[in-house]
Amino acid sequence: MASAFYLVLLLMLLLPPAPVAAQEGNRAGLVIVHGDGSIATQCVAFPEESISGAELLARSGFDLSVEASSMGATICRIDGEGCAFPGEACFCQCQGSPCVYWSYWRLVEGEWRYSNLGAGNTVIRAGDVDGWRWGAGANDQAEAPPAVAFADICRETSQAIDAQPALTPAPAEDQPIKQSASLPVSTPALTTHNADASGSLPPSLTPLAAMGMVIGALVILPAAALVWIRLRAAGKERRR
């Protein structure tokens, strides 16, 4: 019995600890309001500490048309609505009055604020929410997106799925908001959409960690067997 006890103790000391699950990446919300009032949301996961508003939009999975210049990126078209640059001018519907375009908004302390900065110059961190609305008006004249909270877009109870973002048809004034799921991405247009809410995939062992455990077992088991044999032989000698 004593030999078995020491053998188990040795194995407990030598076996490597179980790997800790990787921490979930940062997430930010995105709200898209179309000219007909329909609303779509996305929860976008990103591994960096921060990204720009343009990167958040690019990683959302929505179809985009963007005009790049020395002044930054101008958003011409989102999810099929807007101006199809370069086939037409980025502000094709803003040549006079009314001026219809994609206005850019930031959610600050629960209230939408019109952003005078371009999306390429804003800083997005975990828990932030950006909004884009297709409509007329500039600065304080533009209509803000509907009230929404980060928790409404990026919920904790759903799983990410591989799908394309979809719009929520809403002819009435009070538009329902369709939630999306988040999937960590490092390239544009990989964030997935889920009608329930968003979450993260369950953690799993990396190939390196799994190989380390196998190698550790191959080294430890023969050593443990040798110790057990020596302890048993020592016990027989004492009995003699």
Q: Supply the pLDDT for residue 67.
A: 94
**Do 70 and 142 belong together in one domain?**
yes
In this structure, the answer to whether residues 109 and 227 fall within a common structural domain is no
Asked if residue 148 belongs to a domain, the reply is: yes
Task: Please give the pLDDT value at position 21.
Answer: 33
Give domain status of residue 180, yes or no. no
Measured from the Cβ of residue 221, the count of other Cβ atoms closer than 10 Å reads 12
Q: Are residues 30 and 133 part of one domain?
A: yes
**For position 223, what pLDDT does the model report?**
58
Specify the pLDDT at position 197.
Answer: 33
**pLDDT string in tens for the chain (240-residue length):** 444 444 443 444 344 443 333 345 899 999 999 999 999 999 999 999 999 999 999 999 999 999 998 878 899 999 999 999 999 999 999 998 899 999 999 999 999 999 999 999 999 999 999 999 999 987 768 999 999 999 999 986 443 323 334 333 333 344 444 444 333 333 333 333 333 333 333 333 344 444 445 445 555 555 556 655 666 666 656 555
Q: Is 98 contained in some domain? A: yes
- What pLDDT is attached to residue 236? 58
Tell me the CATH number at 128.
2.170.130.30
Question: Within this chain, do residues 39 and 15 fall inside the same structural domain, yes or no?
Answer: no
Total of domains in the chain: 2
Looking at the structure, tell me whether residues 8 and 99 fall in a common domain: no
Task: Judge if 104 and 14 occupy the same domain.
Answer: no
pLDDT of res. 132: 98
Same domain, 66 and 133: yes
Do 74 and 15 belong together in one domain? no
Domain hosting residue 51, numbered range? 26-153
Q: Would you state the pLDDT for residue 234?
A: 62
pLDDT of residue 155: 87
104 and 58, same domain (yes or no): yes
Q: How far is Cα 119 from Cα 125, in angstroms, rounded to an integer?
A: 14
